[in-house]
Amino acid sequence: MVIYGPEGSSKTALLRQAMVLLREHGYEVIYIDALAESLGGAVSATPGIGEALRGLLRSLVGEKIQGLVEAVSVLVREALRRLERPRLAVLLDDAFQAIGLGRVEAYVKQLLNLIEYPGAEYDRLVVMVTSSEGRSRIVLSRHAWSMSLYLWNMDMNGLRELYEQLPGDKPGLGTAWRVSGGNPRVLRILYAMGWSIEDAVAWLVEEKRA
Ligand SMILES: Nc1ncnc2c1ncn2[C@@H]1O[C@H](COP(=O)(O)OP(=O)(O)O)[C@@H](O)[C@H]1O
Ligand SMILES: [Mg+2]
């Protein structure tokens, strides 16, 4: 499952939440933040898979995050070998930025191979990858190797929850929804700019220029 959406559209939040939910459904989960600054901060894993992969992960110390992202298939095959018919979920956040856009197709095919030819039995295997790279969406649409899902914003209820926590004077929820498009990052920018659309636009233009 490849989840495509612009920056600030809650992809990371979705994967973090998926980790909790999958765990509740009996999954061992490994989450890799491919844009993390250090290898240590890049990986979160449930205890079972953390235990199974400790040695392998340790051997990657000193590697760049890219090495870890590239090694995902090896990690998963090893986990499948060690755990008994597990429910396993692999969540790869912004993986394509780490491996480079030229390798998106090969990488996703490799992930599909993992599901189709795992080398050991599993009960369920879920692989979710997020991307904000428009080009990855185009190259993957040529193939049937993945299921692309789009995440543009939070729904109205999600945005309402966020909106209600913002202190101070604010425009009505309808305006906040219309102007932010439900994108939490845009809502944050508007809040920081005192709800001035002109200031928010000027700030964005300046930021892009830099
Ligand atoms: N459901 C939510 N409720 C509250 N804040 C959220 C929610 N989803 C995302 N956010 C916030 O919005 C911002 C962007 O979300 P993030 O998941 O980092 O987006 P992305 O990974 O797509 O760039 C973050 O500050 C995040 O904490
Ligand atoms: Mg993110």
Question: Could you tell which of 2, 3, 10, 157 is best to mutate to test the pocket of ligand 1, judged by most ligand atoms within 8 Å of the CB?
Answer: 10
C-alpha triplet 53, 147, 154: angle, nearest 5°: 90
- Is 158 close to ligand 1, i.e. is its CB under 6 Å away? yes
pTM summary value:
0.86
Residues with CB under 5 A from ligand 2 (ion): 11-12
User: Can you give the pLDDT at residue 52?
Assistant: 84
Domain chopping of the chain, boundaries:
2-150, 156-209
- Evaluate whether the domain defined by 2-150 bears CATH number 1.10.238.10: no
Nearest 10 degrees: Cα torsion 69, 71, 77, 81: -110
pLDDT tens, position by position, 20-75? 999 999 999 999 999 888 777 888 999 999 888 888 877 777 777 888 888 899 88
Instruction: From the CA of 7, give the closest atom in ligand 1.
Output: 23
| CB-based contact 135:101 (threshold 8 Å) | yes
Report the pLDDT averaged over residues 114-122: 93
Secondary structure class of 72 (helix, strand, coil): helix
Answer yes or no: is pLDDT of 6 > 90: no
